[in-house]
Structures are given as structure tokens and as C-alpha cells.
């Protein structure tokens, strides 16, 4: 069995880029599916556009929290790949498939009784049905992009993930246009058509991913396929994935909270600058997901192979990669932000807004770099099996350095720039601490493995 993820040197920047770029595009395509509805509905009616925007914020919080749990199968598959245990890979994928199925009753309850209370009263007529449909369908994309495609990503075969993401997005775009506007024999369903088209496209992506999985698994010539629920493995994967899911849920909760607090306590110009900066940040967030998932796969593969020098080498490589990646983002957001600003600024905005938006873009660039660094450190620590540290530490650090300072800056200083600075501070400090913790864990794991090896080889 070939444990090497790519044809390039293990731990090199080229290996990281080879694994990362399909995931980056896949996450961008998955994000595009979410934004596609908004673009189409913006040209359909103002009520549908506003209702969809309100619903998507809550859907994103639930979806990405579930996705981060299911995506831990990438780390587990990569561990088994590095350890030379291909017969266990499919078992890890099946544990997260069962997890996705188990989500359905909870999501149905959430859609029926909780969803109406999450949408503003004037947007409930269109927003609640849209949110309900997407909430109930969350297990479908979670199983596709969290569980099934992890079988490919954990072995460095991300082109299958890329194919599923692109095909489902193209199908979604066509269906949304047909069902929203009622083209030809299709009924004119408005915002409901966008929801139905998205769910059908997600089902199409799931079927395509299953077909790829069957073909790829047969080619691997692994005869044994354990699809039954394995409580021990499931608990281990859940312990690894839950802290990252919690951190993701914290971040989405912060954004939702900032929308509410900022709308009340800052000026309209500052709130507009925040909306422009946040829109651009969301548009570039696929970089964070793609890179951190790739770092987790490489680190887990090296950990499974017990290749400790490779862990240190890959750590240096992804830090260099992040530094290189930040350069074009700096050019776009800091040196030449005019096209983005003019594209996103509302009509009739005064020229005095331009410097304020540029300040917000500067902090969005810092925030993007800080989150990418913290997420990569978190992915490395998760691959090493020390995710409880993330859970305990993040529970203390998140409110101390992020929520409390942000609320104080908005409530009493009425300054959203100070709030953005606290977000950057939180991610930088947490990233540094996670990084130092990872170094300690690597040395500890290496010492334990060496001691065990010496004990086994002793006469």
C-alpha cells in the first residue's frame, strides 16, 4: 500500500499545495452553492432576498458545526493510511455516515419548533419555510462533504471531492433559475424554488460521491468492508471532532451576535463598513477551510506512520504556505481594494465612507490570516489526538479575548474597529498557544513511542 499522499516529497510545500488546492476549490464551490440562492433571489424580489439572507446565517451555524464533526473522518482515514491499515478506512467513513443519519430527528425538531423563533417577524413568511427545508436536509451535504469525500481526502485523492463539488454546484445553479422564475414547464416557486433546487442538487452530489466511493474502494482491492456501528471508534472520532465543531460554532455565534449588537450600538457608516468587510471575509473563508483540512490530513498521515521528523517538516511547510498565501490577499484587500469596495458599497454611500471601509478591510486581512493560522494549529493538534486541550482552552479564551471585549467595544466605545481588533487578538493568541502545545505533544508522543519500541525489542 502506498502511504505517500502525493508524488511530491512528504511534508513539502508542493505536497501541501497539491492536497490543498482541490479542497480550497471544493470549499469555494460549496460556499458558492449557498451564495447562488442569494444572487438569484436578489433579482427576484427584495423580500425573498432579505428572508434568504436572514435564514442563511442560522443555517450556516448549524451546518458548519455538524460538518466539522463529520469531517473528522478525514483525520481518521489519514491516520489509517499512514499506519498501513486500509481495511479500517471505510469503517471510519461509516461511523460519520451513521452520525449524519442520527442528526435527522434533532434537525426536524429544530426546523419545526425553533426555526420560526430565529427569523424576524417581518421575514418569517418566506424565511421560515426556506430555513426549515435546508435544516432538515443538512444530513445530505454533511454526509457528502464530511463523511464520504473524507475517504478520498484522507488518501490525498481530492480530485473526487472537487468533481462532486463542481458538478453539484452547476446542477444547483440551473435548478434554482428554473424553479425560482418558473422557466418553461417548471413552476414559479420563488424562494421555495431556491430551497428545493438546492436540496435536489445536494442529493445529486451525494449520489455522485457514493458512485465515486464504490469505484475507488473496489480499485483499492480491500475486500473487508465494516459498515456496522463501532462504538469505540465512533466515540474516539467524536472526541476528536467535537472541539473543532465547537470552535466553529463559537465563530458563527460571534458573527450572529455582532450583527445584532453592531446594528444597535454603532453608527450606520460603521455598520455598512462592517457588512462590506464581513461579506469579503465570507467570500475568502474557503481558504481557511481548505488549508486547515489539508494540514490535518498531512499531520494525521504522518502521525499514523509515526514519522516524527515529517510532522516537524510539514509544520514548517504550512507556515511558509500561509505566509505566501497572505501576499495576494494583502494585494487585493489592502493595496487595490477599490473594485471590491465599489462592487459592495450600497448606492448613494458618501465618499467619507471609503477610509472607514479600508480600515475594516485591513482588519479583515489580519483576521483571515489569524484564523487560518489558528485553524491550522488546531488541525495539527487534532491529528495528534489532543483535541480536549482545544475544548478546555477555547472555552476559557473565547469569551475572555473575543466576546467580552467585542461587546464592550460596541456597547460603550461604539467602535466596530476595536471589536475587529479583539477578534484578531483572540485568534493570534489561541493559534500561538495551540502551536506551542502541538510541539510539546509531538515530543511527548515521540518519547512514548521510542520507549515502547525499546521495551518491545528488549530480550
- HSE-CB at 186 with a 13 A cutoff on CA atoms is 18
- Least confident interval from 103-107, 175-179, 365-369, 409-413: 409-413
With bands split at pLDDT 50, 70 and 90, how would you rate the model's confidence at 222? low
| pLDDT above 80: residue 303 | yes
Specify which of 43-57, 67-81, 209-223 reaches the highest per-range mean pLDDT: 67-81
pLDDT at 258: 66
Quick check: pTM over 0.75?
Answer: yes
- Least confident interval from 3-12, 180-189, 201-210: 3-12
Q: What are phi and psi of 144, to 5 degrees?
A: -70, -60
With bands split at pLDDT 50, 70 and 90, how would you rate the model's confidence at 344? low
User: Could you give the CA distance from residue 156 to residue 209 in angstroms, rounded to a whole number?
Assistant: 16
Q: What is the mean pLDDT of residues 69-75?
A: 85
pLDDT at 224: 57
Number of other CB atoms surrounding residue 187 within 10 Å: 11
User: Could you give the CA distance from residue 18 to residue 183 in angstroms, rounded to a whole number?
Assistant: 41
User: Could you give the CA distance from residue 10 to residue 303 in angstroms, rounded to a whole number?
Assistant: 13
With bands split at pLDDT 50, 70 and 90, how would you rate the model's confidence at 346? low
pLDDT at 358: 86
What residues contact 354, with CB distance under 8 A and at least 6 apart?
A: 341
The whole-chain average pLDDT of the chain stands at 82
| pLDDT above 90: residue 161 | no
Specify which of 41-50, 207-216, 345-354, 411-420 reaches the highest per-range mean pLDDT: 207-216
- Least confident interval from 101-105, 160-164, 275-279: 275-279
- For 254-297, what is each residue's pLDDT tens digit? 666 666 677 677 777 777 777 677 777 777 777 787 788 888 88
Cell reading at 90? 471505510
With bands split at pLDDT 50, 70 and 90, how would you rate the model's confidence at 96? very high
Share of the chain above pLDDT 70, in %: 88
Question: Residue 296's closest CA among 281, 311, 286?
Answer: 311
pLDDT at 343: 64
Residue identified by cell 511547510 is: 317
- Least confident interval from 211-225, 317-331, 382-396, 423-437: 211-225
pLDDT at 97: 92
| Higher per-residue pLDDT: 208 or 28 | 208
| pLDDT above 50: residue 1 | no
- Least confident interval from 18-32, 137-151, 377-391: 18-32
Buried b (16+ CB within 10 A) or exposed e, 246-282: bbbbbbbebeeebeebbeebbeeebbbbbbbbbebbe
- Least confident interval from 68-77, 148-157, 187-196, 216-225: 216-225
| pLDDT above 80: residue 340 | no
| pLDDT above 70: residue 16 | yes
Measure Cα distances from 269 to 117, 247, 255, 291, 336 in Å.
29, 30, 18, 34, 21
Cell reading at 456? 518491545
**Where are the domains positioned within the chain?**
1-229, 243-459
Measure Cα distances from 342 to 3, 35, 296, 349, 351 in Å.
49, 19, 37, 10, 11
First-to-final CA distance of the chain? 31
What residues contact 411, with CB distance under 8 A and at least 6 apart?
A: 261, 265
Q: What is the mean pLDDT of residues 192-200?
A: 92
| pLDDT above 80: residue 113 | yes
With bands split at pLDDT 50, 70 and 90, how would you rate the model's confidence at 103? very high
Amino acid at each position: 500500500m502506498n502511504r505517500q499522499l502525493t508524488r511530491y516529497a512528504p511534508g513539502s510545500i508542493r505536497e501541501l499545495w497539491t492536497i490543498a488546492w482541490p479542497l480550497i476549490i471544493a470549499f469555494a464551490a460549496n460556499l458558492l452553492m449557498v451564495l447562488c440562492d442569494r444572487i438569484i433571489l436578489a433579482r427576484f424580489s427584495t423580500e425573498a432576498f432579505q428572508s434568504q439572507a436572514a435564514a442563511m446565517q442560522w443555517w450556516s451555524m448549524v451546518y458548519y458545526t455538524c460538518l466539522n464533526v463529520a469531517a473528522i473522518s478525514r483525520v481518521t482515514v489519514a491516520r489509517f493510511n499512514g499506519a498501513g491499515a486500509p481495511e479500517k478506512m471505510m469503517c471510519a467513513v461509516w461511523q460519520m455516515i451513521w452520525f449524519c443519519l442520527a442528526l435527522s430527528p434533532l434537525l426536524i425538531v429544530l426546523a419545526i419548533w425553533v426555526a420560526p423563533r430565529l427569523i424576524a417577524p417581518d421575514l418569517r413568511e418566506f424565511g421560515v419555510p426556506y430555513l426549515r427545508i435546508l435544516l432538515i436536509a443538512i444530513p445530505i451535504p454533511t454526509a457528502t462533504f464530511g463523511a464520504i469525500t473524507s475517504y478520498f481526502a484522507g488518501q490525498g485523492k481530492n480530485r473526487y471531492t472537487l468533481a462532486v463539488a463542481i458538478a453539484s454546484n452547476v446542477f444547483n445553479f440551473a435548478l434554482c433559475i428554473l424553479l425560482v422564475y418558473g422557466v418553461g414547464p417548471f413552476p414559479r416557486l420563488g424562494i421555495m424554488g431556491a430551497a428545493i433546487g438546492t436540496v435536489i442538487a445536494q442529493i445529486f452530489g451525494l449520489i455522485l460521491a457514493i458512485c465515486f466511493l464504490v469505484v475507488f474502494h473496489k480499485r483499492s482491492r480491500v475486500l473487508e468492508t465494516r459498515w456496522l456501528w463501532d462504538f469505540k471508534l465512533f466515540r474516539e472520532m467524536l472526541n476528536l471532532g467535537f472541539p473543532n465543531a465547537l470552535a466553529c460554532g463559537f465563530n458563527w455565534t460571534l458573527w450572529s451576535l455582532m450583527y445584532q449588537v453592531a446594528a444597535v450600538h454603532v453608527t450606520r457608516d460603521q455598520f455598512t463598513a462592517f457588512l462590506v468587510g464581513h461579506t469579503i471575509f465570507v467570500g475568502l473563508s474557503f481558504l481557511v477551510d481548505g488549508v486547515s483540512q489539508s494540514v490535518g490530513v498531512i499531520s494525521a498521515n504522518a502521525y499514523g506512520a509515526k514519522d516524527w521528523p515529517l510532522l516537524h517538516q510539514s509544520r514548517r511547510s504550512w507556515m511558509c504556505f500561509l505566509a505566501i498565501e497572505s501576499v495576494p490577499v494583502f494585494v487585493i484587500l489592502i493595496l487595490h481594494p477599490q473594485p471590491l469596495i465599489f462592487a459592495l458599497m450600497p448606492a448613494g454611500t458618501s465618499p467619507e465612507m471609503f477610509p472607514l471601509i479600508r480600515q475594516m478591510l485591513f482588519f479583515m486581512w489580519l483576521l483571515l490570516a489569524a484564523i487560518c493560522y489558528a485553524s491550522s494549529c488546531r488541525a495539527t493538534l487534532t491529528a495528534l489526538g489532543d483535541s480536549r486541550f482545544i475544548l478546555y482552552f477555547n472555552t476559557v479564551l473565547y469569551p475572555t479575548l473575543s466576546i467580552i471585549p467585542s461587546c464592550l467595544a460596541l456597547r460603550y466605545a461604539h467602535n466596530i474597529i476595536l471589536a475587529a481588533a479583539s477578534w484578531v487578538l483572540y485568534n493570534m493568541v489561541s493559534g500561538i498557544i495551540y502551536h506551542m502545545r502541538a510541539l510539546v505533544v509531538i515530543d511527548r508522543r515521540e518519547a512514548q513511542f521510542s520507549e515502547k519500541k525499546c521495551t518491545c525489542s528488549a530480550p
